[in-house]
Structure 1
Amino acid sequence: MRASKPTPAGPQEEPSPPEVEQKAEGQGNDLIFGRQAVLAVLEAQKTLNRIWVLPSLRYNPKFHRLLEEAKHRGAVIDEVSPQRLNQITEGSKHQGIAAQGTPYDYLDLEELANQALANTPAPVLVALDGVQDPHNLGAIARTVEALGGQGVIIPQRRAVGVTSAVIKVAAGALSSLPVARVVNLNQALETLKKRGFWIYGADQRGQQPLHRSQLDGPVVLVVGAEGEGISLLTQQHCDVLVSIPLVGKTESLNASVAAGMALYEIFRQRWQKTLTVFRS
């Protein structure tokens, strides 16, 4: 039973020129690039199909052993020039290394809930409603993992999935933070209610200030897309709509900023009630 809380609101084509073929090698695949992002995937022993690395980084003490282990797991290691790596990553800031990963392995909702509740009696999940910007998803995932949250829930439609851009922004967080992708977000919220979670929607139209809300127990924080916010239908599936008080002329916050502020308040309340040891 969920505890009682306040009622809420034809012919054969000619071969392509070599330079075109080279540029296309990394296209159509989910690329992970940047030292921190690739390092996190290597340390988590995730399956990779191929890794492109500059010779200067290939034998770097931080990467050498992990690259050898990835090779033993089946990854092809290619030492390439900076120009070649620029082609593969289409000019992105690769920092000397890129990897081709396998498709992201999403959890189903039930598995995520089981895992979260087994980890702690008061887990924190974040559900995203219509967030389409990969930078927002990556930044939110990074914050959830950094503060000690148990996972993220995203819908299959009209929302960004876990892509290489998301993994890059998350800076390694998605190597340990699970993500569930659901067909119907509202049904997912109702399922989580039955598992004992309270659903808090972060929306500027909410009548209850975030800092005056009781945010203990199993919590799902729902965050909407920047500008649109949480859809009216999804609002109806929230137990409480909470708002972040704004006193300046800015009327709204970026989705990842709002999520970060709300998550900090959730965990701040928990830290006050428990002896929490922080990393120095």
Structure 2
Amino acid sequence: MPPEKPSRRPQGSSPPPPRKSAGGYKGEKPRYDSKRSTSKGGKSRHDGDTPRHDGQPSSYRGGGKSRYGSHKRHSSGKPNYDRQSRGGPSAAPKPVIKAQQAGPHPDSQTQEDSDLIYGRHAVEAALQNHRPLNRVWVNARIRYDPRFLSLIDEAKASGAVIDEVDTQRLNQVTAGANHQGIAAQAASHDYLDIDVLIEQALASARLPVILAADGITDPHNLGAIIRTAEALGAQGIVIPQRRAVGITSTVAKVAAGALEHFSVSRVVNLKRALESLKEKGFWIYGLSATGSQPVHRTHFDRPTVIVVGAEGSGLSLTVQQSCDQLISIPLKGAVPSLNASVATGMALYEIYRHQWVAQQQISSLQNQKQNSINKQGPALPLNQSELESLS
């Protein structure tokens, strides 16, 4: 037996606690009572319960219910932290708080009788035509721009509230749209009655042109159509109230001020409006990819209505039945159709090209007649001797 090593404990210190042995602690009671043994050969620490890793619910917590519910704790070697099952089957899911998105400021929300217009061209056109404005939001750069200074001062004198704000405030007012530094709250668009639109069109041109939009829901398309139609000289547009976009702030922005010079009529029944136009002498042409008559071979020699449909669906069956003729734009590429605003612009240009050619022919005939008169010369006055001989 090897000799006992000398103790390194200093003299006078208390003896250390007894070491743990296979049967427990020497001279002390074990940490666990008799029901739970720490020995491998003793009684199971689960006291007869099946361990939870065997797939059976354990009585360790929750009175026999597994704290993970019906879900496994580990899936594919990684913990499965299901928020609804971590707190037990009866635990309610925690509410998810989403970040508030930036939107219009509460005091900038327009009512049913008001509309928001933004963009330099749209607001400038509204100011120049003295459209009633409730409020104008403008940054410092545009506020003192010579192009807007006098117009904004006139609007202020007419009762509009002028707010000089920063870009962040304008982003809130316009919900992040391309405002170009200025926005205004104006009264909603004043739609014309269909009969008034017809009377104005017939009075303003010998061969007036009116557009009719059948089911166009994209405000960008409607705004582009209005801008093109006003630029080429059309007299107005008819839009339906249902299943179609009206005059919104986006339409006004895309139209770039054309709405201040262009008449818009909104009707309940588009087919009935087309019948009213027929009674006044208008010829109804429907733009359709299946139209038998190409647009460049059509003679637009009377008051004209061009009906354009939505992309994809095109003209509805009832509107096609109301048309006097369906015309098409020949395409040579692989794409079978055109954007609604592009097709409208091409048809309008062809209509006015016919009018311009006819006007040039008339002018040419007048010039030829005038040249023939100039070549023959005016009749010379009689001299004194000829007058005396006649007398």
TM-score of the superposition, structure 1-length normalised?
0.89
User: Which among 258, 283, 288 is matched to residue 203 of structure 1?
Assistant: 288
Mapped partners of 2:321, 2:103: distance in 1: 51
Mapped partners of 2:197, 2:104: distance in 1: 40
Name the SS of the counterpart of 1:149 in structure 2.
coil
User: Which among 244, 262, 265 is matched to residue 180 of structure 1?
Assistant: 265
Residue 135 of structure 1 aligns to which amino acid in structure 2? H
Identity over the aligned pairs, expressed in percent? 59
Name the SS of the counterpart of 1:167 in structure 2.
helix
Segment drifting more, 25-34 vs 166-175: 25-34
Aligned twin of 1:36: 121
Aligned twin of 1:9: none
Segment drifting more, 68-77 vs 144-153: 68-77
The higher relative CO (CA closer than 8 Å, separation ≥ 6) is in 1
Aligned residues: 258
| Structure 2 spans left out of the alignment, 5+ residues | 1-100, 363-391
Q: Deviations over 1:246-273 (max 9, x none)?
A: 1111111111011011111011100111
Relative to 1, partners in 2 of residues 1:147 and 1:20: Cα closer, same or farther, differing over 3 Å? closer
| Structure 1 spans left out of the alignment, 5+ residues | 1-18
Provide runs of 4+ in structure 1 moved above 6 Å.
19-22
The answer to whether residue 105 in structure 2 is matched with residue 23 in structure 1 is: yes
Q: How does 1:97-246 map to 2 (within 5 A)?
A: 97-246=182-331
TM superposition shift of 1:24: 2.4
Residue 126 of structure 2 aligns to which amino acid in structure 1? V
Mapped partners of 1:129, 1:94: distance in 2: 29
Q: Deviations over 1:185-218 (max 9, x none)?
A: 0010010011010000000111111111111221
TM superposition shift of 1:92: 1.3
Mapped partners of 1:25, 1:166: distance in 2: 22
TM superposition shift of 1:20: 8.3
The answer to whether residue 332 in structure 2 is matched with residue 247 in structure 1 is: yes
Mapped partners of 1:216, 1:190: distance in 2: 19
TM superposition shift of 1:22: 7.0
Relative to 1, partners in 2 of residues 1:87 and 1:159: Cα closer, same or farther, differing over 3 Å? same
User: Which among 327, 350, 353 is matched to residue 265 of structure 1?
Assistant: 350
Name the SS of the counterpart of 1:245 in structure 2.
coil
Mapped partners of 1:123, 1:218: distance in 2: 5
Aligned twin of 1:256: 341
TM-score of the superposition, structure 2-length normalised?
0.64
TM superposition shift of 1:97: 0.5
Contact 2:238 2:267 in 1 (8 A): yes
Which has more radius of gyration? 2
Mapped partners of 1:184, 1:87: distance in 2: 37
What CA RMSD, in Å, does the superposition of the two structures yield over aligned residues? 1.6
Mapped partners of 1:220, 1:154: distance in 2: 13
Contact 1:216 1:266 in 2 (8 A): no
Contact 1:200 1:242 in 2 (8 A): yes
